[in-house]
Amino acid sequence: MRMTRYAASLAVLGLALAGCASEAGNQAAEQTDAGVEVEQSTDFEPGTTMAELSEAGSITVGTKFDQPGFGLLNPTTDAPDGFDVEIAKIIAAELGIAPEGIEWVETVSANREPFLQNGQVDMVVATYTINDQRKELIDFAGPYYTAGQDIMVPTGNPQGIQGPEDLAGKRVCSVEGSTPAQNIRDNYPEAQLTLFDVYSKCADALANGQVDAVTTDNVILTGLVAGSDGGFELVGNPFTEEPYGIGVPKGDDEFRTFINDTLEQAYESGAWADAWDRTAGAITGEPAPEPPSVDRY
């Protein structure tokens, strides 16, 4: 991924968070390992995706590389860190696949469906809102988290933006292929929408005064605010619900059911909450919320 100026600051944030984890010592490492304890004796029906992946001992996962707390590339390990990453590790572990058996593929909002349709990834865990339009192309397990669309502005909020109605005539940045961008197109057409492929470029545009605001899910924006060194703030007025799901190829009902079962086990065992506390929760300062009920459609 080409690193923008803001992406470079996010990398520094990632190192800082990793440093905090290191300071926690061996206990934190043991908690991490416990959260992704690898199943040693798997038994899946031959011919299923689970059997094929388990036998191969590897899985390819699409995720974001520029979103603190959910999927942020760690320049030290050259692998992403975050809540989405930990959720993927929990699923892989249930397949008998260790973290080193996961191939991480940067997956931006616009290429999530194509990557699944073309077989470039086995699943996508990438702040991926479940909606009916996407369900026509791929299937979802989950949801495993519910976010809400919000707005990020320069510190001090010089334009006085309090909600989406205030975006009329304002230069607003989001990401191509994202639910928040489509929401602005559909419901707030008087906003002047600028689109990039990744949110770090939106953050650069906001820092440079090229746009007045950035809009996407609140948890994504919280990570961007944390990496802004005091330059940005969150309006703090969510105006949608965004259930995050795990994308799988269309029609793979067995794999979707397996992932849903694994998510529910993680809810009950505390692994899901532990993953939140060590990643997104470390940025937001909020304890793990109540997990959503998975959809067995």
DSSP 84-103: HHHHHHHHHHHTT--GGGEE
User: 62 pairs with which residues across the strands?
Assistant: 105, 124
pLDDT class of 34 with cuts at 50, 70, 90 = very low
Q: What is the distance between the alpha carbons of residues 67 and 250, in angstroms, rounded to a whole number? A: 26
Domain contains 290: no
Q: Which pLDDT score is estimated for 162?
A: 97
Can you tell me the mean pLDDT for 125-134? 97
DSSP state of 212: S
Q: Give the CA count within 13 Å in the CB-facing half-sphere of 209.
A: 1
Q: What is the distance between the alpha carbons of residues 194 and 213, in angstroms, rounded to a whole number? A: 10
What percentage of the chain carries pLDDT values higher than 90? Answer: 84
- The candidate with the shortest Cα–Cα distance to 262, out of 33, 39, 56, 32, is 39
Same domain, yes or no: 90 and 51: yes
Q: Which pLDDT score is estimated for 18?
A: 45
Q: What is the distance between the alpha carbons of residues 218 and 200, in angstroms, rounded to a whole number? A: 15
Same domain, yes or no: 265 and 195: no
Same domain, yes or no: 168 and 258: no
Q: Which pLDDT score is estimated for 6?
A: 53
Q: Which pLDDT score is estimated for 35?
A: 57
**Residue 24 in this model has a pLDDT that exceeds 70:** no
Q: What is the CATH number of the domain that holds 228?
A: 3.40.190.10
Give the domain extent around 278. 5-144+251-284
Residue 52 near residue 245, CB atoms below 8 Å: no
- The candidate with the shortest Cα–Cα distance to 193, out of 217, 168, 225, 219, is 168
Q: What is the distance between the alpha carbons of residues 7 and 200, in angstroms, rounded to a whole number? A: 5
Can you tell me the mean pLDDT for 207-231? 95
The tokens for 213 are 């605001």
Same domain, yes or no: 162 and 269: no
Domain contains 65: yes
Averaged confidence pLDDT in the chain: 90
Q: What is the distance between the alpha carbons of residues 194 and 244, in angstroms, rounded to a whole number? A: 24
The per-residue pLDDT for range 149-175, each reduced to its tens digit, is: 999 999 999 999 999 999 999 999 999
Q: Check residue 127 and give left, alpha or beta (phi > 0: left; psi -120 to 50: alpha).
A: left
Same domain, yes or no: 92 and 178: no
Same domain, yes or no: 137 and 161: no
**Residue 257 in this model has a pLDDT that exceeds 50:** yes
Strands 79-81 and 71-74: antiparallel
pLDDT class of 284 with cuts at 50, 70, 90 = confident
Rounded to the nearest 5°, which phi and psi values hold at 29? -65, -40
Q: What does pTM read for this prediction?
A: 0.87
Overall domain count for the chain: 2
Same domain, yes or no: 112 and 170: no
Domain contains 291: no
Same domain, yes or no: 177 and 220: yes
